[in-house]
Chain A
Amino acid sequence: GIQVEQSPPDLILQEGANSTLRCNFSDSVNNLQWFHQNPWGQLINLFYIPSGTKQNGRLSATTVATERYSLLYISSSQTTDSGVYFCAVLNAGGTSYGKLTFGQGTILTVHP
């Protein structure tokens, strides 16, 4: 099946710093989503971005489907950005039946 690798596994920042999270995937995708899992365990949809670039406030994401990677940018980080960031993809071919394959996540800690 498709492989999804996220980097870095852990990231510690001071409030106000910028960061870039990366997601590499091993095959063509129909669907790519970025999620933020907050400290209470809730999964928040950040972006649906199988290709191209999107921005939402301090967050933006870019997916280069032909090169099989996606980047999540967080600018001017805040303590509320802490949590785990997941990239999830849906393989374009085969019998993926809507199954999102998740990466292992990046644990982000933002200190005041």
Chain B
Amino acid sequence: NAGVTQTPKFRVLKTGQSMTLLCAQDMNHEYMYWYRQDPGMGLRLIHYSVGEGTTAKGEVPDGYNVSRLKKQNFLLGLESAAPSQTSVYFCASSRGLAVYEQYFGPGTRLTVT
């Protein structure tokens, strides 16, 4: 039982390049989330999904797109990377929305030059 996994662990992009971050969970959770963490700060929600085939915007969605084609996977895409997107990205999942514990992946460290 791996929990929540993320690939890749590290990535360096040039401004304008695109990439996709993959999150996978094996806990059969309905809800999945993408957060970003900037230096000296807590995490902020980018996008979330309440089930297979659904996505919605979070607190800081601009510049990102997401897809949830399979229940166990949640993809985060950057179509044209900008230096402001340099951050550590965390994926999380939970069984339900409000009163359920969220479990986090190990994070992806992204640098955009």
Contact = CB atoms under 8 A, between A and B. Distances in A.
Interface of A: 4, 30-31, 33, 35, 41-43, 45, 48, 50, 86, 88, 90, 92, 96-105
A31 B43 contact: no
B42 A88 contact: yes
A97 B43 contact: no
B40 A104 contact: yes
Given A97-B48, A102-B42, A104-B41, A48 B101 contact: yes
Contacts of B42: 4, 86, 88, 101-105
B74 interface: no
B77 interface: no
B90 A31 contact: no
A79 B109 CA distance: 25
A30 B104 contact: no
B41 A97 contact: no
A92 B42 CA distance: 20
Contacts of A4: 42
Interface residues of B, number: 28
A61 B98 CA distance: 20
B109 A99 contact: no
Interface in B1-59: 31, 33, 35, 40-45, 48, 50, 56, 58-59
B56 A97 contact: yes
18 contacts: A30-B98, A30-B99, A31-B100, A31-B102, A35-B104, A41-B88, A43-B104, A45-B101, A50-B99, A88-B43, A90-B98, A92-B98, A96-B98, A97-B58, A98-B33, A98-B97, A99-B33, A102-B42
